[in-house]
Amino acid sequence: MCSPSFTNRFFSDGPKSRRPLAIVLGTNEIASAVAVLLHRSSRAVILTHDPVIPVIRRGMAFHDALFGDFAWVNDLKAQRVDYLSEVRGALAARETVLVTTMGLTDLLILGSIDVIVDARMHKRSVKPDLRGFARQAVGLGPGYRIGENCDLAIETRPGRIGHLMDGSTEDQHPEPSLLGGVGRERFVYTQAGGRWHTPLDVGVRVYKGVVLGHLGREPVVAPLDGILRGLARDDTEMPANVKIVEIDPSGRACRWTGMDERPRSIAEAVMRGMRRMEAAGSTTPGLVPGFNFH
């Protein structure tokens, strides 16, 4: 584990300008909310692309910057970088976070890392052991256990969103939370893999039965009336059993841009947990006797 006296020299132009480096795994709405708050805490932030799970809530995420599009979350802009040589210059301006298709192993060469946050939200996969790669290693969602694969484990399931765990996070919750009184029925899941094509974008009003796009040659229709809160990006290869559409039926209360309540709560929990670790003088909160994280 890195020493508490850790400093990051890669982003240093001198003692007064030094910014700790934060790496967020994922470019979805939760990863993006975490990135916003880390940036506000005067950290240099890089988000890494997750090729496994499609990002559908793209109006709330930095994901589209990977494709050269504008991507803003709460007045913070994302910029794509493809090479390590671009990173220092891109972050020097301080008004952006970076998104990249480079993986964590590629980014380790940048130097000491202040914090790594796994926000990919893989619900069933075996989680990597992030400890030792950064001063603080944070795991979000199912599969994280303090002292085994992270220093800080944060719950993301409905009813316990943002709880700081003193052991492990709980297993995947079988049902999504309600939105406008609707749960699983507001999503469309892929039955099989295929190339996804759609002429639509998030924020569009749709009606039940309307064709939203095609997965391979199969039409995908809207399951109910509402606003497209989530929609996988056009011309993207989709695996089986993932979400590609989310419809919000809540009318004028619908929101598809900015930072939503759930991502904000999780991001705030990340910052709260990191501050508590720092106040306790430890990078391993689960090993501090009598330390209450709830």
Q: What domains appear along the chain, each with residue ranges and CATH number?
A: 21-173+261-287 (3.40.50), 184-249 (2.40.50.100)
Percentage of the residues of the chain whose pLDDT score is greater than 90: 70
Six-digit token string for 103: 């993986």
pLDDT of residue 88: 87
Pick from 98, 75, 97: nearest CA to 258: 75
pLDDT of residue 283: 53
pLDDT of residue 193: 93
CB atoms within 10 A of CB 243: 21
Distance CA 83, CA 46 (A): 12
Pick from 128, 137, 127, 141: nearest CA to 170: 141
Q: Which residues of the chain have pLDDT under 70?
A: 1-17, 172-174, 282-294
pLDDT of residue 2: 40
Pick from 85, 30, 84, 24: nearest CA to 55: 30
pLDDT of residue 1: 39
> Can you give the pTM of this predicted structure?
0.88
pLDDT of residue 3: 36
Taking phi first (over 0 means left), then psi (-120 to 50 degrees means alpha), and beta for anything else, what does residue 20 get?
A: beta
